[in-house]
Amino acid sequence: MRSISISAEREYSINFDRKWRDALVEISKSYEKILIVAPVELVTLLKIDNIAKSLDSQVQLVSTPSGEAAKSPDFLLEMWEVCGEFGLTRSDCIVGIGGGATTDLAGFVAATWLRGIAWHAIPTSLAGMVDAAIGGKTGINSEHGKNLIGSFHSPVSVTIDESFLQSLPARDFNAGMAEVIKAGFIADTVILDLANDGKKNISELIWRSIDVKAKIVSSDFKENRLREILNYGHTLGHAVEKLEGYKLRHGEAVSIGLVFAAELSNQLGKIASEIVVQHRELLQKYELPVSYKSGEFPKLLSLMSSDKKARGASLRFIGLEGVAKPIWLENVTNDQLASAYERISS
Ligand code: GLY
């Protein structure tokens, strides 16, 4: 079995080439009780309740609403109630099986219950495998923005079972590719070549994207500085997601944000326009959106201001000064932002 290790508050492994059921059986051997969290449609599709009955430990299964609806304060309260009723102790664990919303929620429940218990991630979406389920960021959404309530709490293990991708809808696969392409633009040009070559390279793309993230997280787990580069495309992306009421996939909103961040970098004289074109072409290859409604800039600006990367009164963005050369764009004016937005407006 291949693995990539991450060194955060402790060391843990991202395990490849392993069936999720085998991983679950293995996990269950180490705990008396496990709370499995999975979205309702996956519980049915994967027959998780049947598998749960065959495990060594005592299992409680929670079906969550689909997508971002699982990451609400109301649902979090329900989760804490389940933890209490099930009698989850510090020597028990939570397992999140699902996309990024599920593992974000499962990890946050684990981070907050009894001030932190163990959890394991089994991501089932491409976005979860290459980004959301790795790196130890856990959290839920607030009325004021995405992921504003959260904690750094690393999983004990992450299982990458690529067979989930066979049944992943094309739209979700493509949305995950936005995070893969992001990893390429911030750190690894080979990813861009492989992505340009099509989805047949997906195993290598997953490996390389996780490797990019693992190295960054291992050197700046709590996002004091370097880890911010993983937010390339996310400042506008999160604002678009919120404005759309989470109806777009995260990766679709990030795709718009990536083109915006590239346009902003170009406008500030940091990259050539060919690199912006490269962003558009690669993202469009995966049918991802590269523009957004004109006239929405004031609302997006207000939402971006509550983004976690805003420091004091000024907004800052991750930009590029070349392919695989991320930079911090500080003190960007509203006029500069409006002008970059104009270039991505449809
Ligand atoms: N998704 C960005 C990060 O994990 O830091």
Q: Specify the residue with its C-alpha closest to ligand 1, atom 5.
A: 230
CA 217 – ligand 1 centroid, Å: 8
Give residue ranges with CB within 6 A of ligand 1. 131, 135, 137, 227, 230-231
**Backbone φ and ψ of 315, nearest 5°:** -90, 145
CA 211 – ligand 1 centroid, Å: 13
CA 313 – ligand 1 centroid, Å: 23
**Neighbour-count burial for 28-63, b at 16+ CB within 10 Å, e otherwise:** beebebbbbbbbeebbeebebeebbeebeeebbbbb
Instruction: Dump pLDDT digits (tens) for 141-187.
Output: 998 888 999 999 999 999 999 999 999 999 999 999 999 999 999 99
Ligand 1 pocket mutation, candidates 6, 137, 209, 212, criterion most atoms within 8 A of CB: 137
98: enclosing H helix or E strand:
strand 93-98
pTM tops 0.85, yes or no: yes
Q: What is the pLDDT averaged over residues 63-82?
A: 96
3-state helix, strand, coil in the chain (%, to 5): 55, 20, 30
Beta bridge partners of 7: 11
Reference 125, options 94, 157, 169; nearest CA is 169
Beta bridge partners of 33: 58
Report yes or no: 316 and 330 within 8 Å, Cβ to Cβ. Answer: yes
| Domains present along the chain, CATH in parentheses | 3-167 (3.40.50.1970), 170-344 (1.20.1090.10)
pLDDT at 70 over 60: yes
Q: What is the pLDDT averaged over residues 25-31?
A: 96
